[in-house]
């Protein structure tokens, strides 16, 4: 597996090798021992899946507050997304900065988003199926996030003037100015 850095050093792109033949391909998408050898140690405890029917479906920006914070390993099984991670760790040299990476079923690339980051994505293809591993269980009382269009963060979702398809929950998320980040750089969450 190739591990590539992003503009935010703690967010990584993981690109599994694909072994193809006339039938298609085989790919190992996660191997805990190999990742541990590469310095990436996660105890994933839950797998999640979302299907977004329409292009322009936006999910985010989400996180879970400590002690239920989650690292995520995100991959696309069908379709394509623009995946966004925002560093929300007070004291981080990258606090408030975001990155956006396109990941798709076609490339097999995955994005590893550590704890302390807001996460979201917008679909680039119809019927996009996203799967992600998390290293902590879901806890409804810890569910949190910031509006996708917050002007302080100013993510370029590459919507080309289109309105995204949003859930009621995502439409009601607070602005960053009204959201005290519970994360601190260098501290476990």
What is the spatial distance between Cα 73 and Cα 47, in angstroms, rounded to a whole number?
A: 9
What is the spatial distance between Cα 165 and Cα 168, in angstroms, rounded to a whole number?
A: 10
Cα separation values, 9 from 13, 34, 75, 158, Å: 10, 20, 19, 23
Per-residue pLDDT of the chain (189 residues; tens, 9 = 90+): 899 999 999 999 999 998 999 999 898 888 899 889 988 999 999 999 999 999 999 999 999 999 999 999 999 999 999 999 999 999 999 999 999 999 999 999 999 999 999 999 999 999 999 999 999 999 999 999 999 999 999 999 999 999 999 999 999 999 999 999 999 998 877
Does the annotation count 25 as an active-site position? no
Smallest CA-to-CA distance from 45 within 54, 33, 32 is with 32
- DSSP at 142: G
Question: Which of 25, 90, 132, 185 is labelled catalytic?
Answer: 132
Scanning the structure block, which residue is given the tokens 């690292």?
71
Does the annotation count 184 as an active-site position? no
Question: Which of 62, 90, 138, 185 is labelled catalytic?
Answer: 62
């Amino acid at each position: 597996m190739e591990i590539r850095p992003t503009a935010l050093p703690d967010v990584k792109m993981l690109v599994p090798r694909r072994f193809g033949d006339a039938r298609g391909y085989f790919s190992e998408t996660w191997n805990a021992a190999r990742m541990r050898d590469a310095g990436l140690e996660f105890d994933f405890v839950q797998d999640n899946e979302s299907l977004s029917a329409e292009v322009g479906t936006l999910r985010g920006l989400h996180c879970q507050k400590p002690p239920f914070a989650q690292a995520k390993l995100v991959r696309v099984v069908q379709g394509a997304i623009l995946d966004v991670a925002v560093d929300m760790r007070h004291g981080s040299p990258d606090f408030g900065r975001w990155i956006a990476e396109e990941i798709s079923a076609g490339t097999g690339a995955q994005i590893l988003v550590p704890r302390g980051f807001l996460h979201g994505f917008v679909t680039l293809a119809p019927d996009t199926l996203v799967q992600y591993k998390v290293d902590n269980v879901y806890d409804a009382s810890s569910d949190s996030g910031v509006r996708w269009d917050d002007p302080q963060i100013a993510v370029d979702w590459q919507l080309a003037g289109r309105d995204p398809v949003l859930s009621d929950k995502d439409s009601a998320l607070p602005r960053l100015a009204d959201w005290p980040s519970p994360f601190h750089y260098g501290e476990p969450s």
